[in-house]
Structure 1
């Protein structure tokens, strides 16, 4: 049951009024730096096998705050597949202005059909595919290196996190705008052989005790006894469970 912590970067001067996209040099502002310092402190009790980041500055700063002071994590690993959607000609433009574009309604109501304009504009479906593929690759890598109960963090961007969550929930991409990922929020997904479980969504201040790896299983449990509900298979408890 590899556990993924999806962390959105903290606030920047462009967050909200402008579509930053892959604009170079967009760093956290004072508010964002305060957010990620608090986030790093809140996640400190959770043992992380790795911290992976989008290559963009605002995510690298956030990832550094999450990784700071952790034994066994020498550096943040970078994976371009967790980078922001490539918004093409929309990059850097005000959101109020973009809301007047015909494509805006497609992005909101039928995002699986949306491709952003310009030579480097990306389809949202392609962005989801690369991000979900990256998650699957990292799940296998982390489990192979650190065991099936390992926890790792990925620092990424709002639309990318929402697309990963939609996949985990079994939702069509056209529903991903119903999901929210606030700056410096944490979304948690546990991946099992059967299915992913969305444990937390858009968490900006909760306790992290339930994110700690489980204690080692006893010999009886290893031999087929009750290993934490539904025979240890990672099934959802009937009736909702606790």
Structure 2
């Protein structure tokens, strides 16, 4: 039997709504975010979970604790620092429009290759994978043939999924999305062999996504003029 990993993004925050860079900025869930996560908790209430892991940020810890409630005291939340979100350095707290206006050249370079290029004082995708991927592999090893839940972040989740499935992670921002409180399911036959069974599912609080262009992805997704 494969090991099942429920990989979740935290619920929405006030900064999510404002579309600000907030990887290393610690913010709580918004009321909307809590409702999203409570709906997901109801959805996963009957899943037999062996453990729950979370990034140390307030929004992920709160998400994990809400998801843990239906499973009783025997399933507690374990904190893993390496699962935290990308640190956006001196872009933290700024909107994308502000970053483009103030640091245009730097932002353009990052847009071309966010896997290897980082904002000043921030992290590249490679650096995030270097710390987060070994933790996921260890979790899978520790819970062989079990089921675990990991609460993480938008960028970190996309990088992990790209790497685990053997995709070119340079395109993680262009080709993969992660909505607030999204559910992903991966089954592992070994710590390095994963199959994606469910991706970015938010049916616990939202219907089928519309087909509008997303301004929260890269310029690759901008409407053609």
Shorter-chain TM-score category? 0.7 to 0.9
Matched residue, 2:189? 192
Q: Is the alpha carbon distance of 1:107 and 1:192 closer, same or farther for their aligned partners in structure 2, counting shifts above 3 Å?
A: farther
Matched residue, 1:169? 165
Q: Partners of 1:191 and 1:129 in 2: how far apart?
A: 20
Matched residue pairs, number? 198
Unaligned runs of 5+ in 1: 207-242
Q: Does 1:22 align with 2:24?
A: yes
Answer whether contact 2:37 2:67 (CA < 8 A) is retained. yes
Matched residue, 2:69? 68
Q: CA deviation at 1:104?
A: 2.5
> Any residues of structure 2 matched to 1:1-242 within 5 Å, and which?
1-16=2-17, 17-24=19-26, 26-71=27-72, 73-100=74-101, 101-118=104-121, 121-143=122-144, 148=145, 150-177=146-173, 178-193=175-190, 195-205=193-203
Q: Partners of 2:40 and 2:75 in 1: how far apart?
A: 19
Q: Partners of 1:65 and 1:72 in 2: how far apart?
A: 12
Q: In terms of Rg, which structure is larger?
A: 1
Answer whether contact 2:41 2:70 (CA < 8 A) is retained. no
- Runs of 4+ that moved beyond 6 A: none
TM-score (norm 1): 0.77
Q: Partners of 2:168 and 2:3 in 1: how far apart?
A: 23
TM-superposition CA deviations, 1:7-43 (whole Å, max 9, x none)? 001111001421112213x101110111111110011
Unaligned runs of 5+ in 2: 205-225
TM-score (norm 2): 0.83
Q: Partners of 1:198 and 1:109 in 2: how far apart?
A: 26
> Considering only aligned residues, what root-mean-square deviation do their CA atoms show, in Å?
1.6
